[in-house]
Amino acid sequence: MVEEGSTSLRMYPNPNRGDQLMLSLESVAEGVQTVSVDILDAFGKRVIARTIAVQASSSRDSGDGFINTVLELNGELAAGMYMVNITAGEQVYTERMVIQP
C-alpha cells in the first residue's frame, strides 16, 4: 500500500523480468539518511535486502529528501509474486512485484 498525500513511490517495471527494478520515492522525511528495501517471497522470507542513501532535495522550501535508484536483481528471483517493503524512517511502504520468466 502506498500512502496517500505528498509521498510518491514509483516502482517499475512491474511485472519484472528479474534483472533491474527502478525505485523512486519522494518526500523522504528530513533527517532520514538511508532507506531500507526488503524483498520477501510468498512465504515471507527475505530474499533481497538493500540499503539506499537518501539524496538531499534541491528545493529550498523543503528539507525532505528522495531516492531515485536502480536495484540490480541479477536474476536472483524465481518467477512468482514478491512483496517489496520500503522503510524510510518511520514510514513503511509495501508494494507487490511480479517476476515473469
Q: Which of 29, 19, 91 is nearest to 56 (CA)?
A: 29
Highest-confidence segment of 8-12, 49-53, 55-59:
49-53
Tell me, what amino acid is at 64? D
Domains and CATH numbers, the chain: 8-99 (2.60.40.3080)
- 56 pLDDT tier (thresholds 50, 70, 90): confident
Averaged pLDDT, 36-42: 97
CB neighbours of 61 closer than 8 A, spacing ≥ 6?
Answer: none
Q: How far apart are CA 77 and CA 89, in angstroms?
A: 27
